[in-house]
Amino acid sequence: MSRTEGKNLRVVLYEGPGSTPLADDDRFAALAALLDNGFEVTRPVAGQHVAPADDAPVLVLGLLDPLDTPPEVAPGQEVHFRNLADGDLLEAARAVREATGARKLEAWKPWFPVIDYDRCTNCMQCLTFCLFDVYGVDKQQQITVQNQDNCKTDCPACSRVCPEVAILFPKYGKGPINGDVVRAEDIQREAMKVDISTLLGGDLYGALRSRQKDARKRFSTERDESKALLERKRCLGKLKKDLDIPDEVLMTLPSAEDIEERAARARAKLAKRQAISQTVKDTRPAPSETEWGI
Amino acid sequence: MSILYCNCTYAKVVPVEVKRDVLRRLSDSGRAFDAVADLCDMSARKDPALKKIAEGGCTQIAACYPRAVKWLFHAAGTPLPDAGVTVLNMREDSADDVVKELLA
Ligand code: SF4
Ligand code: SF4
């Protein structure tokens, strides 16, 4: 199972009829522990709204009266009951999570690009830039995030190349990439970053390719391996600083050949897309004489 | 009206003292609410629970930047309604300000 699949267990913290209400401190402690361990929690109160039930498994936790029969639930709804008086709340929740096959808390940071379609102009720069096939186009030929799992944790580089500041990483430290409002100076600053990457050789692939070529040349002429390596390090250091690419991502960058292949694939995708929009244009009826103004 | 609280469990981008303070006061308020571990994680998984939240008339969301929350729901294929939803930002605002709006 991929890290982005699976249902969560929904825990209902119940304090209604047939139970003893929790002390304020206990309720808060239960809520905090459950949320910190990746559970969804609902606190229902009679006469007030919470999200409706869906087909996710439900665990009802509370100081339940042992003599009371559990309330009836909708057919098909998987509901488990556990009495908080009977033992540790997290142990009970984990056991039900295991039994229902619901998703466990994983040590991952949900890190993936989120597109702000109010800003996006569908220019495809992110698609051509990303080395890891995170982006794609949907049936309407609109840019979309199609392989979130491929995104490299803590790498916000594609958001740096987006000319519209339309790519968000909500877990990023700084605005506007984290979703903060986009100000005029942000647009200017992001544009400058793109310029810097352009100066590096057209784009990331270009930069890496030409540096690799230079390094090869140096290997053959000077046979000074350490100097060439230093130069490569310097180049990568500059990319890292300009685009905020983490070390781990730089270390896992594909080979020059892979990059060439990837760039060719992206170019072909773009050409296909342009051909489709051209065909759409060409199949429009020819303008009438009056439209030509003759 | 319903309330959704996001705990931002998988990364510490929301100040812990703010989110804990908001949760505590929500917990003590006697109000019904839904709380999720991490909206980003749910969006990544296109969790159907987001649909029930978006369609269930949720009107107050305590999380982070409104632009991030809006597009996280959209990315999961369950956009929030255009009007009537307020996103409160625990990343920028004080717990006092968030709770005042949340329980208004
Ligand atoms: S680079 Fe930005 S504006 Fe261009 S398609 Fe990607 S998200 Fe949209
Ligand atoms: S929506 Fe905001 S507060 Fe919630 S998990 Fe994502 S970054 Fe954290």
pLDDT in tens, A253-281: 655 566 566 666 766 766 776 676 666 55
Task: Quote the CA–CA distance of A259 and A264 in Å, as a whole number.
Answer: 9
Report how far residue B10's alpha carbon sits from residue B4's, in angstroms, rounded to the nearest whole number. 17
Instruction: State the helix-helix crossing angle for A184-199 and A225-243, rounded to 10 degrees.
Output: 160
Is the distance from the beta carbon of residue A167 to the nearest atom of ligand 1 less than 6 Å? yes
| Contact list, A33 vs chain B (CB under 8 Å) | none
Interchain pair B58, A51: CB under 8 A:
yes
pLDDT, averaged across chain A: 78
**pLDDT for position A8:** 81
> Which of A10-24, A71-85, B40-54: highest mean pLDDT?
A10-24
Alpha carbon of B39 to ligand 2 centroid (Å)? 5
Q: Is B37 on the interface with A (CB under 8 A)?
A: yes
Q: Are A146 and A117 in contact (CB under 8 A)?
A: no
Q: What is the pLDDT of residue A291?
A: 32
Give the C-alpha separation, B71 to A176, whole Å.
Answer: 14
pLDDT for residue A244 = 75
Residue B40 in contact with residue B71, Cβ under 8 Å? Answer: no
- Residue A162 sits at the vertex; the CA angle it makes with A190 and A174, to the nearest 5 degrees, is 50
- Every domain of chain A and the residues it spans: 10-100, 114-280
pLDDT at residue B80, as a whole number: 94
Q: What pLDDT sits at residue A242? A: 66
Of A200 and A41, more confident? A41
The 10 Å Cβ neighbour count of residue B38 is 24
pLDDT class of A288 with cuts at 50, 70, 90: very low
Query: Residue holding tokens 């020819």?
Result: A286
B16 touches chain A (CB under 8 A): no
Structure tokens, A240: 């890292």
Q: What are phi and psi of A60, to 5 degrees?
A: -95, 120
Residue A286 has pLDDT above 60, yes or no: no
Q: Is the Cβ–Cβ distance between A206 and A128 less than 8 Å?
A: no
Local mean pLDDT, 10-residue blocks, chain B (104 residues)? 93 94 98 96 90 83 98 96 94 98 93
Pair A147, A110: CB distance under 8 Å: no
pLDDT of residue B86: 95
CA distance A147 to chain B (A): 10
pLDDT in tens, A109-137: 899 999 999 999 999 989 988 888 899 99
CB atoms closer than 10 angstroms to residue A199: 11
Tallying the residues shown for chain B, one arrives at 104
Average pLDDT on A62-84 reads 83
| Pick from A284, A197, A272: nearest CA to A238 | A197
**Does the structure show a pLDDT above 50 at A200?**
no
Task: Report how far residue B92's alpha carbon sits from residue A80's, in angstroms, rounded to the nearest whole number.
Answer: 38
CA distances from A41 to A63, A132, A231 (A): 16, 35, 53
Q: What is the pLDDT of residue A287?
A: 36
> A64 has which bridge partners?
A19
pLDDT at B53: 86
Task: Specify the pLDDT at position A197.
Answer: 47
Give the pLDDT mean for A193-197. 49
Reported as half-sphere exposure (CB side, CA atoms, 13 A), residue A46 has a value of 3
Instruction: Pick the residue whose CA is nearest to atom 2 on ligand 1.
Output: A162
Of residues B37, B57, B10, the one with CA closest to residue A10 = B37
pLDDT in the model for residue B55: 83
Cα gap A281→A291, rounded to integer Å: 16
Are A52 and B72 a contacting pair at CB < 8 A? Answer: no
Inform me whether the pLDDT recorded for A4 exceeds 60: no
Asked if the Cβ–Cβ distance from B48 to A56 is below 8 Å, we say yes
pLDDT at A79 over 70: yes
Amino acid at A94: R
Cα–Cα distance for residue pair A246/A69, rounded to 1 Å: 56
Residue B57 and residue A215: Cα distance in Å, rounded?
A: 60
**pLDDT greater than 60 at residue A74:** yes
What are the φ/ψ torsions at residue A64 (nearest 5 degrees)? -80, 140
Count contacts between A and B (CB, < 8 Å). 154
**How confident is the model over A141-191, as pLDDT tens digits?**
999 999 998 999 999 989 988 989 999 999 999 999 999 999 988 877 666
pLDDT (tens digit per residue) in A211-253: 555 555 544 444 455 554 555 566 566 666 666 777 767 666 6
Nearest Cβ partner for B27 among A31, A55, A145: A31
Rounded mean pLDDT of A43-49? 94
Tell whether the model's pLDDT for residue A194 goes beyond 80.
Answer: no
List the one residue out of A120, A21, A33 whose CA is nearest residue B35.
Answer: A33
Q: Provide the pLDDT for residue A232.
A: 53
pLDDT at A254: 58
Average pLDDT for A193-210: 51
| Angle between helix A89-100 and helix A24-36 axes, rounded to 10 deg | 40
| Residue B89: both structure tokens together | 């930002």
CA of B14 to the centre of ligand 2 (A): 8
User: What is d(CA A258, CA A275) in angstroms, rounded to the nearest whole number?
Assistant: 25
DSSP annotation of A104: P
The per-residue pLDDT for A289 is: 33
Nearest of A178, A219, A127, A254 to residue B8 by alpha carbon: A178
Q: Write phi, then psi, for A145 (nearest 5 degrees).
A: -90, 110
Single pTM value for the model: 0.81
Residue A125 CB–ligand 1 contact under 6 Å: yes
Distance from Cα A171 to the centre of ligand 1, integer Å: 19
